Amino acid sequence: MNSGSTARRPFAFVVPVYNHPLYVTEVIEGVKRYGCPVIVVNDGSTDETAACLEGIPDIHLLSHPVNQGKGAAIRTGFEKAARLADWAITIDADGQHDPADATLLMKTALDNPGSIIIGRREGMKDQQAPWTSRFGRQFSNFWVLMASGAWLSDSQSGFRIYPLPHCLNLGVVSRRFQFEVEILVKARWQRIPMIEIPIRVKYKKEIPRISHFRPFIDFLRNTTTFTRLILQRVLIPLPLRRRMYANR
């Protein structure tokens, strides 16, 4: 296991990884330039990703023996990040995000302590994003609104900043892609502000990109998650919901 400095910093990067050998090194090197702790969670990769990560110096490398899901990997990263920093910056390992955009996200977080900062992906259509990504974003935005009352224009972006340890104590139970929408809903219930900042995205067809999103299965999982959250919003008064999930 490689590790960087353990001195506490304002920010730590959390990079969840599952079978992303093409761009993970580029992503990690891009965020290392900020001098923050970089926590990489190998979520049970079955290809050459594990060997690739072992060769990268100055990172905190954590591993799940088997794949548990993106949400589980993020939570593992949060638990480590909470010991090292006040905010966790998540960034996907598939190369779609530009690490340089973290500068504006960090400035926004410092100006708005206690808020979740979401990188709103711009130009997805121009960048030839897959239809599943564009449809999934609109689908998710609508149901986040129904479950929380908050309108977001990119509730599926993986490039975010979370205040710690607050976001570890929201009672989020989803362990896969649904984690990233459930945490927004429950943050809204706890009156944690959410701010969207425009970021760039790379989806050009000539750039190979691996996505582990499975439209049918993950659509069903999303539907189940949103149904549970909406029922809780309808049936459980907000003060009780806030007490249920506070300090969990």
Quote the pLDDT of residue 35: 96
Note the pTM of the prediction, 2 decimals.
0.87
Quick one: pLDDT at residue 237?
84
- For the chain, state the CA radius of gyration: 17
pLDDT at 108 over 50: yes
pLDDT tens figures, 6-39: 577 999 999 999 999 989 999 999 999 999 999 9
Mean pLDDT of all residues belonging to the chain:
88
Which pLDDT band holds residue 125 (cuts at 50, 70, 90)?
Answer: low
Q: What is the pLDDT of residue 74?
A: 98
What is the rounded CA–CA span in Å between residue 105 and residue 13? 12
| pLDDT over 70, % of the chain | 83
Residue 202 has pLDDT above 50, yes or no: yes
Q: What is the mean pLDDT of residues 176-181?
A: 91
63's CB contacts (< 8 A; 6+ apart) are 41, 42, 44, 50
Domains and CATH numbers, the chain: 9-245 (3.90.550.10)
Gap between the Cα atoms of 162 and 147, Å rounded: 20
Give the mean pLDDT of 59-86.
97
Instruction: Give residue 223's pLDDT.
Output: 81
Q: Which residue(s) pair with 123 in the sheet?
A: none
